[in-house]
Amino acid sequence: MEYRLEDQAKQCMAVEKECLEIEREWKKRCECLENEISDWKNEYEILKSKGDRLRGHLSRTERELYGILQRKYELTRGPGRNSGSGTLNNNNTSWDGTTKQLNATKEEKYYQDELLGTSQARAPQEIRQRRMLANLTDFLGI
């Protein structure tokens, strides 16, 4: 009976040791998973802020493109044109009675040539340079 009792005590200690080892392993695994969760939360916050910045940038770009398109259509209509019909108003006057200039500004001529394709065929680099200069002069107000 004593031998049996000792054997059960050994088995009980082995089971208890095994349970403690399993518990230690699960605690380690739980800590690793908690660290991974916090890393993913940080990554999410970083990506969320990056996405917000990109959405803001996209919104500003869309507004800028919309403004550019508005200017393009205003320039393609050109001064002295009757609401896009392509004909001049009689006596070249506007609705308020002021006389419009027949000659467009340098910038308007440039945009009309570039946008309407009436300019001579040019190298793409030259076109980009001309557009850049026109944008800079427009921005700087020169």
Tell me the per-residue pLDDT of 31-44, one tens digit each, with 9 for 90 and over: 999 999 999 999 99
Sequence-ordered alpha helix ranges (H) in 1-142 = 2-77, 106-116, 124-140
Q: Where does the pLDDT of residue 1 fall: very low under 50, low under 70, confident under 90, or very high at 90 and above?
A: confident
Q: Is pLDDT above 90 for 47?
A: yes
Q: Identify the three-state secondary structure at position 3.
A: helix
Boundaries of every domain in the chain: 1-77, 102-142
How much of the chain, in percent, has pLDDT values that exceed 90?
A: 44
**The two three-digit tokens of residue 134, written as one number:** 């026109």
